[in-house]
Every structure is written in structure tokens, then in C-alpha cells.
Structure 1
């Protein structure tokens, strides 16, 4: 309750039409139930809807067999037996469950030994004056490696870097915050977000094709490229629009409270870099070696043990880097700390695991009852009739995501709700699920800065007020809004170009499903 009161107070200075809209979104969003109950309600809706459809004798086309198949009622004796006997299996076999825990074991060690924080501080604070903005933006775009903690780590660092360069510290704070939050999906390194989204998309795609698999790097080409594009565009907006608007900084030389990277941390970064380079070289040799067991039966890489093992490899690389850094920097003193750090990481994932239980049941019932196929085939026919089966439909879908993204702060929860409907729908029109996932992620990510229910907002406001003592949420939103609009527009344009040219968004994932 305290979080809502704090946010309400912060919204008090967000006047005008935009302020009223944000307050309205907050009120509606605050009335939404916890995601655990949201998916529990969804499971109940699926059960009732399947019973009604089955009673009406509804059938749907099974794309695998080409035959009509009846809708099955979850509330029938057969359905109730299925719901009870499959609950545990639905939970533990839900694709995002094992994937995200596995990857986060490595990322957690890298974060807790100090590797991620030291890397971000070193990159931002050591940037030459002429490249400060670009380096700040690029590192901030990669901030999702450190998850939500990047919101607290990077903007103050950016403010200090701008102040040291004789520029307005608030500009550094805002541009870093915008890049971290609105550019959350962009990165040149696969992160936990990629793992989580790919697992949810895989589960949804299997409603149509039980053998479908969306890899962790399914969107890698698209978002790695966009990291460079957005870094350039955001830098331009900052220097040409934000800084002239703020003018020269005339405040006091406030202590930025930013610790420089010390000798031990620099040593840790060097050792971690060497360890990671050697590990990547060894991995590349193992994959490229003729006759490698990591290749597919035909010698290819796209369909191979290597692609299937990417989550484990990501975990190992973060683990190697984190351990190497910790030993060299002195933050890892005993090997017993490694499993302790992993355990702490898993503790932070407990809320996600709890939500996954009801989400897994809702999606499993949706698939078993054949309601997923019924909605997907009906929607696919509608898209085809409207001529929106390809990139046009994806663009429309991406715009549609905006409103629910503002209401539901959790992107993974929102994608878990939307993926079982839209992924099969587009698949039946031949669109690769990786493209649907990318269309969702660009809007969900770009709109993050405008979500009033973000629990980190009071913290961000407190940090910002060091450089803007009278600033509130209205100040933050007004300064961030241009970046949000530009990031979303650039991403939509990139998606349009990608689709029109038929470029792959990731290895083996073009616009249309390969025949």
C-alpha cells in the first residue's frame, strides 16, 4: 500500500492531459490483481469457456492432421482428471521455469562478485569527453544484464560522468535512465530477458506445433543491431534537444557519491576479460571443429546440440567471468560463496516461480481444451481476410500492445497472457513466432518509462532530485518522453524494414516459418 501512496504523491505534479492519462492508467493498474491471481482467474475463464464451447459442439481445425477436432471441456470428468494429474508436470515442464533459473545462476554470481557493477562503472566513468554520451547510452542499453538494479546503478554514474565533463548532470541521468528502461530489450549479449521470453514463446508456439522451439537467440540479430542504432539516435536526441533544453548547469558542485573503480576492481576486470576470451575461443573451437559433437547430424549449427545448449553456455560464461573477477578482485574469498550467491539469486526468483505455477496451468488448459487452436484459427482467418498476415499484422499487433503494457508493469506476465493467443494466430498465417516475440518486445520495452506502477519510481525520483530538487514524476516523464517516442519509432521502423526485406531476427528465424 505504501508504494501506491508514494506513486500517487509523485503523480501530483504530472498535470495536463498526459498527467490525467497517467493517473487514470495508475488507478486501473492498481486495481488489477496480483499476477498469481490474474492467471488463476484466467485458468477459471478457460475452464468455463471450454465447457460452454464443448456444450455447443464447437470444433476447430487441427493444423497437424488437417482434421476437425472437438473442443474439450476442462470441467468434464476427463478435464478435471487432466487438471489434477498434470498440474505438477505443467509446472516443472513450463519452458521459462528451468531456463531462467539456469541462466540466472550464472548471472547472479557475476552480479554478486561485483563484475557487472564494476564493468558498468569502469565503462561510464572512464569514457573520453568526446564520447561520454555515446558510451553512457551504449552501456545503459546493455544494463538489462544487471536486471532492475541497472536503474539504480547507471543513471547516477551517468550524471557524475556528465558533471565531470562540464555538462548538465541531469542530462546524463535522464539519458541513461531512458536507455536502461525504454531500451530494456536491446543488448549485444543474450541476457535473462531473452531466456524468459523465448521460453514463454516456445510454450505458446507448441499449441500449434508440439515440436516448435524458439531459441534464446531468436531475436539476437534484431536487438543486437538495434543496440547500435539506438545508441546513435539517443545520443543525437540528448545532445541536440535535451541538453539545449536544460541549458548549462548552474547548481552547486554536489558530491555525486560515485566510487571510482579501484585497483582491485580493475585487476578483476582484466582477469575476467581474459577468462571470458579464452572460454569463448575454446567454445568456438569446439563448435567449428570438423565433426564436432556440438553440430547437427548434417554438420549444421542452426539445428544442433550447440543451439539447444545456449542457456547452459550463457550460465557458464557468466559464472566463469564472475568467479574470475571475484578471485582477482578479492570479493570471492572461499568457494563456498559461489553456491551461496546462487542460492541468493534463486531466492529473488521465488515471486516469479510462484506466478509460474498458475500461469503454467492456464496455458496448459488453454492448449489441452483446444481453445487455443479455436481462437488461433479464427484469428488467423480474420488476419488473412484483412490482408494483415505478415509484417502489416505484426506492426498492428505491436501498436496494440501499448495499452496493456502501460497497465501491467510486468512484461513477462503480459507476454504470458498474450503469447498463447497471438503466437499461434500468426503461426497459422506462416509468421515465425520469433517475429511475433520481437513485435511484442519493442513496445513493451519502449513503454517502460511511462508505466506509473513501476515500483522503482520512488527510488528513481529520489536519485533524480539530487540534480532537480523540485522535480517530480511529471518532470521525469516530460524529460524522458521524447526518448520513449524516438526509441519506439525507431524500433517500429526497424521492424518494418526487417519484415519488408525478410531479414532474420535471429539465427534460423525469418519472417515466415521455414518450410
Structure 2
């Protein structure tokens, strides 16, 4: 009989996560089931005449049953408004029109390939991590562009290709939430946060730039940390590559280089014009005091970014002759929207769940009760936020979709921490760093299988354990780095975004 393969504790742990996660339904069906659960739960709890006092409001608030005449009326008459009025929907679709156009004409891929291949040899690792982190502008497409490209770059330099692949995957997945630019993820998460806080304070709006200062800083720090993990831990462990596989990189044509330069010049011209308008005396884009906080500039950041990517995308597309008529622009945008169909379906179900949760007052009840409990045991400081980060990191092992997980957590934790005096945008930062860190080791990441296929191009015997073992150091060090940056901003009083402090 063949001897049984001994499984390590980590292998058994990850296998258990994979098994449990595979039993979860598709995110769309998960929200449908949660919406049904809220309907039933609201009816049961309302039978016990549960009431609570919501801070800042007079009188007691009761749990409302969705299985009632009033509840049925709400379900039927609000369904369209819940969906169409859901803040993330419009923001994400608008910003992805521009980013999708830039992606479809090839601008983003050319920019990524140019940055990595033109980097000095001593800076290649840093360039790979940096491009991977900023590559989330291309959304999930970055998972299939950057890791194999990084592997080829390392291989052509005589380094282990899997070290390059791991670095690229770490940048894309582990640093997914950070960027120099405002991306679709910023619009999506801020929209969900705004929806969540509406139940307790409709005057608060979380904008796509509310975490920007923090995320810009994290790009720089994670680039250094990721490169050090690659060169000091991952690459030495892999040793010298003895395989025979060889993959050549396709050359970027002179036309693509020229188009990339024109797109960069067009973008800079757009940004220069924007800065001129911003710094005009009594600028219409600034607030009454001449500042950014609560200004029309921040309120309109989504269309501003949309036009930036349209400007760059159209310029590049015209130069490489992928855009030969005005109809091509609409066609590429339409193609980008087809890729968003799964997101739109998910948002329909998620918006109903959140609306039912708020209307029934279950969300407010859980938030108030949870806040009171934390106050009663004296757990209201930064320790409770760190506990939230750890909880989110663990949950991300079971639910890969950042949008789906935040749509589950935000209606509970945003109001709860609001009653403890925390800014919703601050709690959103805590969520983002936990969600991003474990992306590269969760078996629920569908791109883990894709990346494993790239790994097997260089190591035919590689399995899921091989890949996770390579990525685990990145996950650990990225999470520690994110938390260290989070605490640094907290204790030094550095704003996480324009006018965003931890406390309200």
C-alpha cells in the first residue's frame, strides 16, 4: 500500500476553509437568502415587542415586521428604488465606463508592461509590486495580466520565475485596496458605507476619496515591504530555477509606445486644466472657505475621474487605430459594461437585503445593542477596531468578494461604531486593509486557480499548497504593515482622506 501523505496543520486548516467556503452559496443567492432571513427574523422579534432608544432620537423605536401589511407594501413598492437608488450602483458604473474604455483599447495593459519591462534590474522587484498594487485600476483583469508577465520578466533576468509571479500576485491581490488613483473599488465601498450610515444619520456621505491619503501612503510602504519579502524570504526559499520552460515577452510596438506617451500628455493636460480651475479665486470646485472638505470637487470626483480615463483612453485608442470613429467609443464602453453584469445582479440582491435590514430597524437595534455592550465592558478604544480588522481578515477566507463582504458587514458595524463616535470612513479603512491582506491565500479567490495554472507552466508538480505556501508570507507581512500604517495615522492624527479623522 502506498504511504499516506501527512498533512500539516496549515494544510488541514486551509483545506477546512476551502470545504466550508465551497458550501456557501453564490453571493447573489447568499443575499437572497439573507433577505428572506431578515423578513422572517423581523416577524419573530416583533412578536416580543422589542424596543430600543436610538441615540439622538426621542422615544422608543420598535422592530417592524416585514410579514405584515405595512411590510408587504414596503417590499413591493420599494424594490426598484432600493436597486436604482443604491449609491454604489451609479458610482461604479460611471467610473467603470472610463476605466473600461481605457482597458478595452489596451491602454492599461501597455502601461503595465511598459513600467515593468523598462525598470532597472535592481528595481524590477519593486516595479512588479508597485505595478501590481496600482494594477487594480484594471480590476480583476490585473490578476491575469501581471503575475504571468512578472514571471517572464524574472525568468529573462535569470531569476526564479515563480518569485516574480508571487510578487505580481501579491501586489495585485494583497495590495488590491491601495492605489495612487481613485478606482472603482473606492466608489463601490464608499457607496455601500453611505447606504449603511443612512439608517442613523442621512447627512453623512462617504466619498470615494475619503481613504485616499492613507491608500497613497500604503502603495509606497507596501511596495518596499513586498519587494523585501520577495528577495529575502520567497526567492531564497525557491532557490535556483532548474526548469526548462521559457516564455518570451511580446515586444511593445513603437506605435503603442507613442500612443502611451500621447495618452500621458493628454492626461497631464486634463489634470493641469483641473488644477487651474481649483486654484482660481472663489473656485466653484472648492467649499465656501476655499478648502476641499465638503467641496463640489469631492462631491463630483466620480465624473472627474471618468473624464480623465475617457481622455486618456480615447487618445490612446485613436493613436493605435482601435478608435477610428465616434461609434467605437460607445462600443468599447458597452463591452466594458457587459463585464459588469455580474456586479449589477449582485447589487440588486444586496440592495434589497440592506433596505429590509434598515426598514425593519433590525440594523439599528443590533448597532445600539452592540455599542452599549462594548461600552459596558469598557471596550471602545482602538482595541475594538483591531478586533474588527482581525474578524474581517478571517471572514475574507470564506467570502472573497470585497463588495459582498462589505455589504454584509457595513449595515452592522458602520452604525455600531458610529454610536461609539467613529467616522464611517475610518471604519471603512479598517475593513479594506483586512479584506485586501488575505486575498492571496483564501481558497475562495477564483483567481487562485488561474494563478496556479501559471505556476504549473514552470513547475508541473505544483499544487494549491505550493501556491499558498509562497503567498502566505506576503499575506502576513502585508496585514502587519497595513495595521502599522493604520495605527501610525491614528496616533499621529494624520487624516485618512480629505478632512477624515477617526472620530466624528
Q: TM-score range by the shorter chain?
A: over 0.9
Structure 1 distance, partners of 2:472, 2:403, is: 23
Cα drift, residue 461 of structure 1 = 1.4
Gaps of 5+ in 2: none
Cα drift, residue 14 of structure 1 = 10
Matched residue SS, 1:436: helix
Matched residue SS, 2:123: helix
Cα drift, residue 117 of structure 1 = 0.1
* Corresponding position: 1:196 with 2:191: no
Q: Answer yes or no: is the 8 Å Cα contact 1:395–1:496 preserved in 2.
A: no
| 1:456-495 matches, cutoff 5 A | 456-495=447-486
Structure 1 distance, partners of 2:5, 2:77, is: 53
Pick closer, same or farther for the CA change 1:461–1:376 going to 2, 3 Å: same
Structure 2 distance, partners of 1:136, 1:358, is: 37
* Corresponding position: 1:133 with 2:128: no
Structure 1 distance, partners of 2:491, 2:38, is: 36
Matched residue SS, 1:199: helix
Cα drift, residue 13 of structure 1 = 8.9
Pick closer, same or farther for the CA change 1:304–1:14 going to 2, 3 Å: farther
Pick one of 174, 178, 188 that aligns with 1:186.
178
Residue of structure 2 in register with 1:398 after alignment:
389
Residue of structure 1 in register with 2:42 after alignment:
50
Pick one of 299, 303, 322 that aligns with 1:331.
322
Give deviations 1:238-292, integer Å, cap 9, x for gaps.
Answer: 111222222223333x432421211011011100000000000111111221112
Cα drift, residue 36 of structure 1 = 1.8
Residue of structure 1 in register with 2:101 after alignment:
109
Structure 2 distance, partners of 1:202, 1:106, is: 23
Q: Answer yes or no: is the 8 Å Cα contact 1:137–1:234 preserved in 2.
A: yes
Pick one of 8, 14, 17 that aligns with 1:16.
8
Matched residue SS, 1:275: helix
Cα drift, residue 206 of structure 1 = 1.0
Structure 2 distance, partners of 1:99, 1:14, is: 50
The runs of at least 4 consecutive aligned structure 1 residues that moved more than 3 Å come to 12-15
Q: Answer yes or no: is the 8 Å Cα contact 1:156–1:256 preserved in 2.
A: no
Give deviations 1:112-157, integer Å, cap 9, x for gaps.
Answer: 1111000000000111111111111111111111111111111122
Residue of structure 1 in register with 2:228 after alignment:
236
RMSD of the alignment, in Å?
1.6
Q: Answer yes or no: is the 8 Å Cα contact 1:14–1:474 preserved in 2.
A: no
* Corresponding position: 1:452 with 2:452: no
Q: Answer yes or no: is the 8 Å Cα contact 1:264–1:330 preserved in 2.
A: no
Structure 1 distance, partners of 2:170, 2:40, is: 43
Structure 2 distance, partners of 1:13, 1:271, is: 57
| 1:139-150 matches, cutoff 5 A | 139-150=131-142
Matched residue SS, 2:61: strand
Q: TM-score, normalised by structure 1?
A: 0.94
* Corresponding position: 1:164 with 2:156: yes
Residue of structure 1 in register with 2:490 after alignment:
499
Pick one of 221, 226, 229 that aligns with 2:213.
221
Further displaced range: 25-34 or 125-134: 25-34
Structure 1 distance, partners of 2:343, 2:381, is: 33
* Corresponding position: 1:119 with 2:105: no
Count of matched residue pairs: 501
Residue of structure 1 in register with 2:407 after alignment:
416
Structure 1 distance, partners of 2:218, 2:352, is: 35
Structure 2 distance, partners of 1:256, 1:375, is: 55
| 1:43-442 matches, cutoff 5 A | 43-252=35-244, 254-442=245-433
Structure 2 distance, partners of 1:155, 1:417, is: 30
Q: TM-score, normalised by structure 2?
A: 0.96
Pick closer, same or farther for the CA change 1:459–1:337 going to 2, 3 Å: same
Structure 2 distance, partners of 1:359, 1:13, is: 43
Structure 2 distance, partners of 1:116, 1:390, is: 42
Q: Answer yes or no: is the 8 Å Cα contact 2:243–2:459 preserved in 1.
A: no
Cα drift, residue 352 of structure 1 = 1.2
Matched residue SS, 2:439: helix
Structure 2 distance, partners of 1:41, 1:443, is: 25
Structure 1 distance, partners of 2:64, 2:195, is: 19
Q: Answer yes or no: is the 8 Å Cα contact 1:13–1:473 preserved in 2.
A: no
Structure 2 distance, partners of 1:462, 1:40, is: 33
Structure 2 distance, partners of 1:32, 1:328, is: 47
Structure 2 distance, partners of 1:98, 1:473, is: 38
Residue of structure 2 in register with 1:8 after alignment:
none
Structure 2 distance, partners of 1:345, 1:361, is: 25
